[in-house]
Amino acid sequence: METSSLVIAVDAMGGDYAPDSVIAGVKLAEQQHPDIRFLIYGDEPKVRPFIEKYRLDEGRYDFIHTPDYVASDEKPSVAVRSGRKSSLWLAIESVKKGTASAVVSSGNTGALMAFSKLILGTMPGIHRPAIVTILPTRKSECVVLDLGANAECTARNLVEFAIMGEAYCRAVLKREKPTIGLLNIGSEDIKGRDEIRQAAQILKTSPLADEFKGFVESDDIATGAVDVFVTDGFTGNIALKAIEGTARLMASLLKDVAARSLLSKLGFLLALPSLKQLKKRMDPGRYNGAMLVGLKGISIKSHGGADAFGFANALNVAVDTVRHDLVGGIAKQLDGLKFLEEETEK
Amino acid sequence: METSSLVIAVDAMGGDYAPDSVIAGVKLAEQQHPDIRFLIYGDEPKVRPFIEKYRLDEGRYDFIHTPDYVASDEKPSVAVRSGRKSSLWLAIESVKKGTASAVVSSGNTGALMAFSKLILGTMPGIHRPAIVTILPTRKSECVVLDLGANAECTARNLVEFAIMGEAYCRAVLKREKPTIGLLNIGSEDIKGRDEIRQAAQILKTSPLADEFKGFVESDDIATGAVDVFVTDGFTGNIALKAIEGTARLMASLLKDVAARSLLSKLGFLLALPSLKQLKKRMDPGRYNGAMLVGLKGISIKSHGGADAFGFANALNVAVDTVRHDLVGGIAKQLDGLKFLEEETEK
């Protein structure tokens, strides 16, 4: 094993189609990145057949046999007590030990977050880690967080998310000075919740004041009105799934249209090459790989239903965030949080 | 003026394209419903030219000159003090007085809600009125509430919304025994907020226990997993606008696809009749007209950006809810709330 290559730890047991889709995804990433290596954690009798099926390059991975794994429906509190020999726990531990630079799992989100917090620890200045992802917009792409780690948030939490989202956007989308918006509702009589208004007040006088563009609404995500959308985990999860559901609905209604008449069928056949490009652009797999930001290490959540293409994209996110030293980048931005210590809760 | 016809009060001054789109919408509704009449409230010099332009049938409307109106950006608290001679206030008052059976406005949502509460009053047993609408699903349509009247809700509020949404679904979508779901997030570590869990507990032992299907997620709206989606106004507004934004994004990306190549252009031309049907089905105007439920009278909010077709649909919702005696229907369902008085806050 060459010591100079970047190593990604992989939990082969997490996700609806594991270990098949996980190992197939590793194979895709192996081809895309000739310079990265994999530490694969999983139950040998279950995983080995797929390693053979997809013919992983023997020089590019190490396999660690872990008979235990965390079920997708296991409560994180239970997993924390009983899952310390699981593939997920040991894969995360390899990041802590420095044998891997990042970990990727399609498994139980709550357990991934709980284990990552316990093993890697939270960055100084961050009260709550968050889940961040990239979504397609009319113009290009944007960053949204939190997607479900924190159902309820204080103003301080939201400000932390803004700082982490901004750093993520610089690193992954390569934007120089990303604009930031706080997700809110536009109804004239309420204008959102107290914590959102307070967070806006804090951001207006923060080092991010220039980048902060105030309140945005959830239809602004599709237009890409700002680069970074900041919200609590409940609201972010609701928006994300509403977007996914609508995209799937439109796709299936389009299929109905295509089948409606002979002319439609012919028409869609002619437009097929262009439609395929559209499908590729909107493919959820393309946006798979949500980082748990705010931890002292890189932990990436892949969608439970991810296929090989999706899992490979989550591995890409891991590679990108390691190469751009996202943890270091966020730590640097966190200096900007110091002004908060005097203003809000310690 | 025949006394037997159903009368709808119209605020001609509210909305981005008022009074043009409002009067054009009244004309469409006049043609669709030969048996309804209109009470049109507005500033005569501004409204009269459109009444003439669209040639409203003189026997089908009364015009009430109201020089005052509520601006779209006016704070409801200010409007309540200074807007008592506005077209909006007087139109709602006509419902209270019984000269009209319902009121429709594309204007300021906050003012419409505040005025409606003050003038019409809240139904006994209802602590908070809500905004309810219909959205398209894979199979057909579903009911969603609250869409923005109440940013924060107690468990009791959510249970009230479930009761009102169920009655609305029976009346407008004609479902016999509508299924009900509480909007929540699926992240394994949190499973939503306290008030949602409490509301679920209450519904499980309520007269709606059979219809209540537990928690649903926001991507279940597109599939129509249940008939009635219940949530607080903040979350509902976020979900609604995420859906609208994504639908618009997909439509504009499709237009790009159509223009990409000669073959695509030809293909889309051939599929045009089928695509038009899809566009019609997903047209936001088709779903325009959100009822303010929980009031002792029918008050309908039309989208601020509604065109004539959209406004006519909001008028249709007014007609439908009057004909199905929705207020009476909800009052009857509210008997089912009595069991709550012992269980929760009074």
pLDDT, average across residues A206-214: 93
Stretch B232-256: mean pLDDT: 90
* Cross-strand pairs, B38: B8, B61
The verdict on a CB contact (< 8 Å) between A238 and B271 is no
pLDDT value at position A336? 67
Q: Has residue B189 got a pLDDT over 60?
A: no
What CATH fold (topology level) applies to the domain A1-124+294-324? Isopropylmalate Dehydrogenase (3.40.718)
Average pLDDT over residues B194-208: 91
Nearest to B85 by CA among B30, B41, B117: B41
- The distance from CA A139 to its chain's CA centroid, rounded to whole angstroms, is 21
Does the pLDDT of residue B88 top 90, yes or no? yes
| CB-neighbour burial class of residue B173 (10 A; exposed 0-12, middle 13-18, buried 19+) | middle
**Where residue A335 falls among pLDDT bands split at 50, 70, 90?**
confident
Q: pLDDT band for position B182 (50/70/90)?
A: very high
**Testing the interface with A: which of B241, B256, B263 to mutate, by most A Cβ within 10 A?**
B241
* pLDDT at site A1: 41
**Chain mean pLDDT for chain B:** 89
Check pLDDT > 70 for residue B318: yes
Reduced to 3 states (helix: H, G, I; strand: E, B; else coil), residue B218 is coil
Q: Read off the pLDDT band of A342 (50, 70, 90).
A: low
Question: CB neighbours (10 Å) of residue B276?
Answer: 11
Is B346 or B264 the better-scoring residue by pLDDT?
Answer: B264
Please give the radius of gyration of chain B, using alpha carbons only, rounded to the nearest integer.
21
Q: What HEC string does chain A produce?
A: CCCCCEEEEEECCCCCCCCHHHHHHHHHHHHHCCCEEEEEEECHHHHHHHHHHCCCCHHHEEEEECCECCCCCCCHHHHHHHCCCEHHHHHHHHHHHCCCCEEEECCCHHHHHHHHHHHHCECCCCCCCEEEEEEECCCCEEEEECCCCCCCCCHHHHHHHHHHHHHHHHHHCCCCCCCEEEECCCCCCCCCCHHHHHHHHHHHCCCCCCCEEEEECCCHHHHCCCCEEECCHHHHHHHHHHHHHHHHHHHHHHHHHHCCCHHHHHHHHHHHHHHHHHHHHHCHHHHCCEEEECECCEEEECCCCCCHHHHHHHHHHHHHHHHCCHHHHHHHHHHHHHHHHHHCCC
- pLDDT for B32-68, tens place per residue? 999 999 999 999 999 999 999 999 999 999 999 999 9
Average pLDDT over residues B121-144: 92
For residues B327 and B296, the answer to whether their CB atoms sit within 8 Å is yes
Quote the pLDDT of residue B345. 46
Per-residue pLDDT tens over the stretch A22-75:
999 999 999 999 999 999 999 999 999 999 999 999 999 999 999 999 998 888
Locate the chain B residue with the closest alpha carbon to A216.
Answer: B238
Task: Check CB contact under 8 Å for A75 and B268.
Answer: no
Fold of A127-289: Isopropylmalate Dehydrogenase (3.40.718)
* Mean pLDDT within B19-38: 96
Least confident span in A188-192, A319-323, B223-227: A188-192
pLDDT value at residue B188 = 46
- Coil, strand or helix: which one is B21? helix
Name every chain A residue with its beta carbon within 8 A of the beta carbon of B287. Answer: none
- For CATH 3.40.718.10, the residue range(s) in chain A are 1-124+294-324, 127-289
* B303 to chain A, closest Cα gap in Å: 12
Check if the beta carbon of residue B174 is closer than 8 Å to that of residue B168: no
Q: Is it the case that residue B2 has pLDDT exceeding 60? A: no
pTM of the entire structure?
Answer: 0.89
Position B336 scores a pLDDT of 67
Measured over the CA atoms of residue B203, residue B208, residue B213 and residue B216, the dihedral's sign is negative
Which string of DSSP letters, residue by residue, matches B267-282? HHHHTHHHHHHHHHHH
Query: Quick one: which H or E segment has residue B96?
Result: helix B87-97
CA B159 to chain centre: 19
Contact B249 A76 (CB under 8 A): no
- Reported as a single tens digit per residue, the pLDDT across A87-132 is 999 999 999 999 999 999 999 988 999 999 999 999 988 989 999 9
Give the model's pLDDT for residue B87: 97
- Which residue in A136, A243, A267 is closest to B270 by CB distance? A267
pLDDT in tens, A142-175: 999 999 888 889 999 999 999 999 989 988 888 9
B290-293 and B298-301 strand pairing: antiparallel
pLDDT of res. A341: 64
Which of A300-314, A328-342, B136-150, B249-263 comes out lowest in average pLDDT?
A328-342
Examine the pLDDT at A293 and tell me if it is beyond 50.
Answer: yes
At residue B19 the predicted structure's pLDDT band, cuts being 50, 70 and 90, is very high
Q: Please, where in chain B does CATH 3.40.718.10 lie?
A: 1-126+294-346, 127-290
Does A246 score more than 70 pLDDT? yes
Answer whether residue B346 shows pLDDT above 60. no
What residue has token string 């006394």?
B3
Region label for A98, one of left (φ > 0), alpha (ψ between -120 and 50) or beta (otherwise): left
Banded pLDDT at B251 (limits 50, 70, 90): confident
Q: What pLDDT does A187 receive? A: 53
CA distance A264 to chain B (A): 4
Which of A299-303, A307-311, B269-273, B334-338 is the least confident region? B334-338
CB–CB of A221 and B242 under 8 A? yes
Please give the share of chain B, as a percent, with pLDDT higher than 70. 94
Q: Which of A246, A263, A273 sits opposite B247 (nearest CB)?
A: A246
What class, spelled out in words, does domain B1-126+294-346 have in CATH? alpha beta
The pLDDT value given to residue B129: 94
Q: How far is A282 from chain B (nearest CA, A)?
A: 9
pLDDT at A279: 77
Residue B239 has pLDDT above 50, yes or no: yes
Both tokens of residue B342? Answer: 């012992």
As a whole number, mean pLDDT of residues B69-90 equals 91
Query: Residue A60 has what pLDDT?
Result: 96
Mean pLDDT computed over every residue of chain A: 89
pLDDT at A339: 66
Which residue of A lies nearest to B252 if distances are taken between CA atoms? A138
Q: Is the model more confident about B28 or about B206? A: B28
- Helix (H) or strand (E) holding B136, with range, is strand B130-136
* Class (C level, CATH) for B127-290: alpha beta
On the question of pLDDT at A258 being above 50, the answer is: yes
**Close Cβ partners of B332 (under 8 Å, ≥ 6 residues apart):** B167
Of A148, A221, A274, the CB nearest to B257: A274
Question: Could you give the ipTM of this predicted complex?
Answer: 0.88
Taken as a whole, chain A contains a residue count of 346
**Lowest model confidence (mean pLDDT) among B14-28, B174-188, B278-292, B313-327:** B278-292
Give pLDDT, residue A260. 76
> Does residue B3 surpass a pLDDT of 50?
no
